[in-house]
RNA sequence: CGGGGAGUACCUCAGUCUGGUAGAGGGGCGCCUUUGGGAGGCGCAGGUCGCAGGUUCGAAUCCUGUCUCCCCGACCA
């Protein structure tokens, strides 16, 4: 490939709206161009990266016996009503939907459980057809609340989604673990460092789910990990043990104290230095939306802990939980926000307690009166024992659920998510098969997603320096960058050698980008090469007349060797063979 | 949706407070010079100042409305 054929202008300055390295570098290098918020043009170089990723994804899925197909992005409302997800997706605003000319409601697919279940219920009739796993690589549409970080969270993005169908639960588990291995292979082959974590299954549904997180400080997700025990989970779902138990105290009668202006636990610590945070109980009021109604829920949690809203929503079987607004708080507590407590709340407010309050005795809490708190409050004496559930957010330093290790919080980019769906969709949409003994049985499903375009961004987040991107060889846009310093007829020896290397590499199945641009100074060529980050570099320069070139790796720019051009070609071929990206030999067509 | 900020050339931005000829740097084009780390000189092209109203002799600048984009929170591959 001749670099002079690329319609690309590189930028010296970062675009103003780029917040993370992957976005800034891709924009500067012309990989990417924003059309509107969360929607991007993929330039020629980025498209090559994506095709590399797709190739790896396809090879690994096909190897595991999955079958590729393609489903429509345009979908009818009826299927979504049938599965029961239309209202939730519309209410969350995540769905792009509209009416067609006949007035039928349609949407652009944010995911494909409905379509694939509809496909399966018609195609799969017999146990003899099971198990089967289908997949597709396709554009998805989600009207994200906040598109961000370039390719990391777009409103239109490329996703590989796969769906497994089994005769029973055990089969589903087997399919799931097979896909889990496929995912590990895919991400390893893409050259990514990642962590597999327990996850919440969210709006997709189902029981077990795990996420594949690329380790990166700019990741949007926080994850709880423990090196000693191997425990790892998204903080949304992480279970843990609290390391610091509440103090034991002797029983005293409940009393009421004036606490003017003290709305936070920190302020109360100053008023009552003898009461540690572990002996305070916070009452957090939530406005909860269920499928059929809305209401308020009070969550009791220890003073040093935070509520995990994902766990809360799951526990309450709610569509949505959000902090109650100030007027709601005043209405049910009769007090200003900051003084809510568990005693004396109206009947309509359901009270649930996080496990962290278990064993907390003689505690401090709000009095439901402005500027007053209660002290020496006992469960079972001053108020009923509450309904206990795991509603707490994990914190750095907590213990793993088995108590054997310490949890650390790190960050990751979610590039894959695997779910055991069970029969959620097959029940809702009546997708059944005839079993060996003639019964109608629901299909057991799993679903599996990979953010194909997001992988490209994640790879840069994980691999870049101050000069530019550093692509892992398996997914780099080109394997080799031939940087010719004086091109365009100014030095016939260089032109001849560079074109010879270019042709030879292509003939050997190595994809190569040749910087043949004339009238571009060497400094610019080096800067552009660093920015684009092609992993193997052959510089054709001052030693060209002796048939020698400079060989270097983008990962280690200082380590340069001057070697005969034939050896550089051999090294490139060997590296590509090892990385599994040797392609079909190409014979250049005269241009 | 709530809270904050910004829309001026392909990019990064000044100019807006205090109304009066549309600016810089980068990038692009031409010529000269230069050629192993974003070289230098001369010249050229490129803008309905987001959009619509209003105030005014006169609006990028003041007023009203509206759209878009970005950041902070709830979504997710």
pLDDT in tens, A39-62: 999 999 999 999 999 999 999 999
Q: Which residues contact A170 (CB under 8 A, 6 or more apart)?
A: none
In Å, how far are A21, A349, A503, A536 from A44, measured between CA atoms? 20, 57, 21, 19
Question: In strand B, which positions have an atom below 7 A from any protein CB?
Answer: 1, 11-13, 25-28, 34-39, 68-77
Q: Which residues contact A465 (CB under 8 A, 6 or more apart)?
A: none
pLDDT digit string, tens, across residues A539-568: 999 999 999 999 999 999 889 999 999 999
User: Going by DSSP bridges, is the β-strand pair A32-36/A39-42 parallel, antiparallel, or unpaired?
Assistant: antiparallel
Q: A255-389 has which fold?
A: YbaK protein (3.90.960)
pLDDT, residue A267, reads 86
Rounded to whole angstroms, the distance from the CA of residue A180 to the C1' of nucleotide B56 is 70
In angstroms, rounded to a whole number, what is the distance separating the alpha carbons of residues A523 and A132?
Answer: 55
pLDDT digit string, tens, across residues A238-283: 999 999 988 888 999 999 999 988 888 888 988 999 999 999 999 9
pLDDT, residue A591, reads 57
Rounded to whole angstroms, the distance from the CA of residue A277 to the C1' of nucleotide B8 is 54
Q: Closest nucleotide (CA of A447 to C1')?
A: B77
Rounded to whole angstroms, the distance from the CA of residue A16 to the C1' of nucleotide B16 is 21
Q: Closest nucleotide (CA of A521 to C1')?
A: B35
Q: What average pLDDT does range A318-338 have in this prediction? A: 87
Q: Which residues contact A429 (CB under 8 A, 6 or more apart)?
A: A79, A82, A83, A114, A117, A118, A121
pLDDT, residue A318, reads 87
Nearest residue to B27, CA vs C1'? Answer: A11
Q: Closest nucleotide (CA of A527 to C1')?
A: B38
* Mean model confidence pLDDT for chain A: 94
What does the block give as tokens for A313?
């929503």
pLDDT, residue A323, reads 87
In angstroms, rounded to a whole number, what is the distance separating the alpha carbons of residues A231 and A157?
Answer: 31
Q: Closest nucleotide (CA of A140 to C1')?
A: B77
In angstroms, rounded to a whole number, what is the distance separating the alpha carbons of residues A418 and A422?
Answer: 13
pLDDT digit string, tens, across residues A157-215: 999 999 999 999 999 999 999 999 999 999 999 999 999 999 987 777 777 899 999 99
Nearest residue to B2, CA vs C1'? Answer: A325
Q: Which residues contact A424 (CB under 8 A, 6 or more apart)?
A: A205, A206, A445
Rounded to whole angstroms, the distance from the CA of residue A56 to the C1' of nucleotide B29 is 43
- Give yes or no for residue A351 having a pLDDT over 90: yes
What does the block give as tokens for A336?
């200003």
Closest CA to A85 of A418, A425, A312: A425
Q: Closest nucleotide (CA of A144 to C1')?
A: B75
Architecture of domain A478-579: 3-Layer(aba) Sandwich (3.40)
- Indicate the helix (H) or strand (E) that contains A22: helix A21-28
Helices (H), A438-582: 452-462, 492-507, 522-532, 565-579
- Cβ pair A539, A530 in contact under 8 A: no
In angstroms, rounded to a whole number, what is the distance separating the alpha carbons of residues A363 and A375?
Answer: 6
Q: Closest nucleotide (CA of A13 to C1')?
A: B12
Rounded to whole angstroms, the distance from the CA of residue A519 to the C1' of nucleotide B32 is 14
Domain limits, CATH 3.40.50.800, in chain A: 478-579
Domain limits, CATH 3.90.960.10, in chain A: 255-389
pLDDT, residue A188, reads 98
- Give yes or no for residue A143 having a pLDDT over 60: yes
Rounded to whole angstroms, the distance from the CA of residue A212 to the C1' of nucleotide B63 is 54
Domain limits, CATH 3.30.930.10, in chain A: 19-190+419-460
- Cβ pair A374, A262 in contact under 8 A: no
pLDDT, residue A127, reads 98
Closest CA to A373 of A265, A458, A464: A265
Q: Which residues contact A415 (CB under 8 A, 6 or more apart)?
A: A187, A192, A194, A212, A213, A214, A450, A451, A454, A455, A458
- Give yes or no for residue A589 having a pLDDT over 70: no
pLDDT, residue A204, reads 72
Architecture of domain A19-190+419-460: 2-Layer Sandwich (3.30)
In angstroms, rounded to a whole number, what is the distance separating the alpha carbons of residues A568 and A551?
Answer: 7
């Amino acid at each position: 490939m001749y670099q002079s054929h690329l319609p690309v202008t590189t930028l010296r300055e970062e675009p103003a709206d780029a917040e993370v390295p992957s976005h800034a570098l891709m924009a500067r290098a012309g990989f990417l161009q924003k059309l509107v918020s969360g929607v991007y043009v993929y330039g020629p170089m980025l498209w090559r990266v994506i095709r590399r990723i797709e190739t790896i994804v396809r090879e690994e899925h096909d190897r595991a016996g999955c079958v590729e197909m393609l489903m429509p992005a345009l979908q009818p409302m009826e299927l979504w009503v049938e599965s029961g997800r239309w209202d939730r997706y519309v209410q969350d605003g995540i769905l792009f939907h509209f009416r067609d000319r006949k007035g039928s409601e349609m949407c652009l697919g944010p995911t494909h459980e409905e379509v694939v279940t509809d496909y399966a219920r018609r195609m799969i009739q017999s146990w003899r057809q099971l198990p089967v796993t289908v997949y597709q690589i396709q554009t998805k549409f989600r009207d994200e609340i906040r598109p961000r970080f370039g390719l990391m969270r777009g409103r239109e993005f490329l996703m590989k989604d796969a769906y497994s169908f089994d005769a029973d639960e055990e089969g589903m588990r087997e399919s799931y673990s097979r896909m889990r291995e496929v995912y590990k292979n895919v991400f390893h082959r893409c050259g990514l460092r990642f962590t597999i974590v327990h996850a919440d299954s969210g709006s997709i549904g189902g029981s077990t789910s795990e996420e594949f997180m690329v380790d990166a400080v700019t990741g949007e997700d926080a994850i709880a990990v423990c090196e000693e025990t191997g425990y790892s989970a998204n903080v949304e779902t992480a279970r843990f043990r609290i390391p610091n138990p509440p103090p034991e105290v002797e029983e005293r009668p409940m009393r009421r104290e004036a606490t003017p202006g003290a709305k936070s636990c920190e302020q109360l610590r100053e008023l009552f230095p003898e009461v540690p945070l572990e002996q305070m109980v916070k009452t957090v009021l939530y406005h909860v939306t269920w499928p059929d109604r809305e209401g308020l829920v009070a969550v009791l949690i220890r003073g040093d802990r935070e509520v995990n809203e994902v766990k809360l929503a799951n526990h309450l079987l709610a569509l949505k939980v959000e902090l109650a607004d100030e007027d709601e708080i005043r209405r049910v507590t009769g007090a200003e926000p900051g003084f809510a407590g568990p005693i004396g709340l109206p009947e309509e407010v359901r009270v649930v307690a996080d496990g962290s309050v278990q064993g907390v005795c003689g505690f401090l809490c709000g009095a439901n009166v402005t500027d007053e708190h209660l002290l020496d409050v006992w469960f079972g004496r001053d108020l009923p024992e509450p309904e206990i559930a795991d509603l707490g957010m994990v914190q750095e330093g907590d213990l793993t659920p088995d108590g054997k290790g310490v949890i650390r919080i790190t960050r990751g980019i979610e590039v894959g998510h695997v779910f055991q769906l069970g029969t959620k969709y097959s029940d809702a949409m009546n997708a059944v098969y005839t079993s060996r003994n003639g019964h109608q049985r629901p299909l057991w499903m799993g679903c599996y997603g990979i953010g194909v375009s997001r992988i490209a961004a994640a790879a840069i987040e994980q691999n870049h320096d101050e000069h530019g991107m550093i692509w892992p060889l398996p997914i780099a846009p080109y394997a080799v960058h031939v940087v010719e310093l004086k091109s365009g007829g100014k030095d016939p020896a260089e032109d001849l050698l560079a074109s010879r290397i270019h042709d030879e590499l292509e003939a050997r199945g190595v994809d190569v980008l040749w910087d043949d641009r004339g009238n571009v100074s060497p400094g610019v060529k080096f800067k552009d090469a660093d920015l684009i980050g092609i992993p193997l570099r052959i510089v054709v320069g001052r030693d060209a007349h002796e048939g020698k070139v400079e060989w270097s790796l983008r990962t280690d720019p200082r380590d340069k060797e001057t070697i005969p051009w034939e050896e550089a070609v051999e090294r490139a071929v060997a590296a590509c063979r090892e990385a599994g990206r040797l392609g079909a030999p190409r014979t250049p067509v005269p241009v």
